[in-house]
Structure 1
């Protein structure tokens, strides 16, 4: 890792001050929720990754301490330690206390960088009760400490060393964050992702609170990433296709592999940033793949001259792909940096992918045949699904006469105030219909078993009466045609019993929404109702508890359990009369609703594959690992 680029105080450019961060933290880290809390770690780790991209860092260590403070250690060059030429204070102080100060603006510090806004270290400092920087560089150990964006101790030498690197220790500020309890699994997932995207780097995470640790190192890079994503799926071909190329100053790395599912999973990154909205690199890949596979199908007779081409949707069925580009001047669309906008990248990716995939298919005819046959089956299913969708759409005129027979609709026609309860069984459905507020609450009872859509194509799914009822009631379509702006209810609330069957139904419904109405979840329209587990009656007073902890507290409040205390454990929603169901579970002034969100698309895909897929061993392992977290298990 030899690189003679100079990186010192002259590369650190200053754009503006730090004042606004503590006032409006959400502008800089997204939110002050658990998501924003984790963002602090990512900002510091991104700086270490930038050192790795520049060729100077081989290992990164993240430690979560018992007090929920975090230390990030890297073996890069170490932050510059000289006096800043314009600010006339130590450069470390500039990096830590001035917003938009970093080596990423003038092009002299870093050629390729992920933390492009240069806000990382200073924002973490501003939002931390304690922030300490230790630098090993130029034969010495240097140290400075800060608090809530302000300097606490002067910068200076505290020892000598032959090592090099940066150590940042910070304690998130409880005045800012809703919680400072880091989630080990969430941090692990992102660090694993970074190790895949930067092959050869060593990343270690240690959690001193629970004595856990993980080490990530992948010489295979994103090829290993695709193998990891597909590990619980049946593969169409054993080895992922791996492509690596460079044009001008843009490097492209791509790996893909087909599996026997009916979903596509495409993940795209630019300079290690997860471009969840895609962008020009993803468009280039999709265009090249569709063109090459159609050319191949025609050349070898899978498609006749007059046959319609396979669509992009057809050729991506069952595809898992990761594309990672690294470029010197990326343009991201939007504040969230989730869509790559560089127009030239599309052509670069298209050219590199087109050449390599074409050669690969010709050299591996068995794999080529399997992929094309999967695409042809997908095309036939797409035509069948199109006809079924048109039938569903014809039925989904917003007049109540054409809505599903079991649906008890609400009187309001304003979607923004309407909500629909998806209820398990006719008994609970009856109580819910009687107890609801008819003006804005609709009830759709589910009849019979819900199909496990994880194992089915859309044409088969649309044959299910239960699923057709939901599609028609919601009014937004399904699959690629789903349009969240057309839905008839702002809130879709799943209301099932608090037992094993209820949990299974919830998982089946969430799998369907995730796979075929994704925006419903992504845009925050799906909720899970929380009915009480217990009714406690003492004398004439009735109270409800929603968990075992709440029951214990309630019993203490009423003076303990005695012969006059009656505790009823609800086995199902049907045991409640309409008034009880309204007051405990449906009344907006007192109910508890859990909003369903997807923090990490990869983790969600993996969980749905494990829980609803064909393979038993991964499911057994998942249950064994997560059994300790289960509450309210009804056996």
Structure 2
């Protein structure tokens, strides 16, 4: 009676939509109940959990099909939602099949060791750890070198990117398996099957404070929002704030995170102030960098006010609508006069 119920439901949906969906796609997320009354029931086991009366099957399939078709025709809006849900489930299932195939091939071809990762001793799932672990995603080996030299090897890991990551805004999940950079990042974080397996408490984007650094930061945020949105929604993704300027004299050194802070520091130090503009993280010495990733580290969380609007936001800012985006930028461009 259960298989007959499933078959009748599948036939009704396929007849109504004039398509050939698989049973698992139609039944995904659906809860059904069926009660059968027979004078002489035959059960297939001692537990009596499966009916063995084959004579009821054809009639039951027909009745379930007719009843379901009747409901679908009487409720066109609900029927349309159901068909859309089935189509989406079918699409996801096919994508996952392709992903699993690529994953198996990739696993055979790739070494277990991730070359870009300098790991730490303790991770998010370790019970012995006394404080949160974190991984810094850096822009190139030069920035990574500064952090490696001064990091806490117990709780601070580094993943060094090689150039700009792929823009995955309009791509499917299989793009991760075709791109070594993103695949290794996913493996390093251990989030392939579930974000709950995340190895670090904090995933920190440590990019330069220039145009290229901002672009890389946006590409990484797009990657996490596109395929691992819960990681962002749970507050794991953060941005490392590093100073733009160093103002000093022989007695005092001040680090400034904005032009306003720089101007205030120059006034405080007075005559003879030496101003250094940090163009990239690689220019900061390990001795100086240690204070920026220590107890006084400045981090800005990546927050999402309305996660339902995320796909639309990503399509606008990171999609292929270049003319529309250019128009928006020109309309909202703010030009500051030189001081």
- What TM-score does the superposition give when structure 1 sets the normalisation length? 0.40
Aligned match of 1:517: 228
Gaps of 5+ in 1: 1-290, 314-350, 362-367
1:432 offset after TM fit, Å? Answer: 1.4
Contact 1:436 1:582 in 2 (8 A): yes
| Separation of aligned partners in 1, 2:171 and 2:140 | 24
Aligned match of 1:437: 152
| Separation of aligned partners in 2, 1:421 and 1:463 | 23
Aligned match of 1:249: none
| Separation of aligned partners in 2, 1:442 and 1:311 | 44
The DSSP-based 3-state class of the residue aligned with 1:422 is: strand
1:505 offset after TM fit, Å? Answer: 0.9
Aligned match of 1:590: 296
| Separation of aligned partners in 2, 1:387 and 1:403 | 21
Aligned match of 1:355: 75
The reply to whether residue 566 of structure 1 matches residue 274 of structure 2 is yes
| Separation of aligned partners in 1, 2:96 and 2:254 | 52
Aligned match of 1:257: none
Aligned match of 2:68: none
Contact 1:294 1:310 in 2 (8 A): no
Q: Say which of 217, 221, 239 aligns to 1:528.
A: 239
Higher relative contact order (CA 8 A, sep 6+): 2
Q: Say which of 300, 318, 326 aligns to 2:18.
A: 300
The reply to whether residue 387 of structure 1 matches residue 101 of structure 2 is yes
Contact 2:195 2:231 in 1 (8 A): no
The reply to whether residue 537 of structure 1 matches residue 248 of structure 2 is yes
1:359 offset after TM fit, Å? Answer: 7.0
Contact 2:102 2:177 in 1 (8 A): yes
The DSSP-based 3-state class of the residue aligned with 1:488 is: coil
| Separation of aligned partners in 2, 1:449 and 1:626 | 26
Aligned match of 2:168: 453
1:522 offset after TM fit, Å? Answer: 1.1
Structure 2 counterparts to residues 264-303 of structure 1, below 5 A:
295-296=13-14, 300=18, 302-303=20-21
| Separation of aligned partners in 2, 1:493 and 1:454 | 21
1:373 offset after TM fit, Å? Answer: 8.4
Structure 2 counterparts to residues 361-372 of structure 1, below 5 A:
none
1:557 offset after TM fit, Å? Answer: 1.2
Distance verdict in 2 for CA 1:581–1:609, change over 3 Å: same
Contact 2:124 2:201 in 1 (8 A): no
1:471 offset after TM fit, Å? Answer: 1.0
Q: After superposition, give the CA deviation of every residue in 1:441-471 in whole Å (9 maximum; x if it has no partner).
A: 0000011331111111101222111111111
Q: Say which of 455, 460, 483 aligns to 2:195.
A: 483
| Separation of aligned partners in 2, 1:571 and 1:311 | 55
Gaps of 5+ in 2: 1-8, 29-70, 126-130
Distance verdict in 2 for CA 1:405–1:358, change over 3 Å: same
Q: Say which of 396, 410, 414 aligns to 2:120.
A: 410
Distance verdict in 2 for CA 1:566–1:299, change over 3 Å: closer
| Separation of aligned partners in 1, 2:119 and 2:158 | 7
Aligned match of 1:506: 217
The reply to whether residue 578 of structure 1 matches residue 290 of structure 2 is no
Aligned match of 1:22: none
1:532 offset after TM fit, Å? Answer: 0.5
Q: CA RMSD for the aligned pairs?
A: 3.6
Structure with more of its chain in strand, by fraction: 1
| Separation of aligned partners in 2, 1:447 and 1:436 | 21
The DSSP-based 3-state class of the residue aligned with 2:114 is: coil
1:627 offset after TM fit, Å? Answer: 3.4
Aligned match of 1:495: 206
Contact 1:536 1:542 in 2 (8 A): yes
| Separation of aligned partners in 2, 1:427 and 1:353 | 64
1:574 offset after TM fit, Å? Answer: 1.1
The DSSP-based 3-state class of the residue aligned with 1:417 is: coil
Contact 1:411 1:438 in 2 (8 A): yes
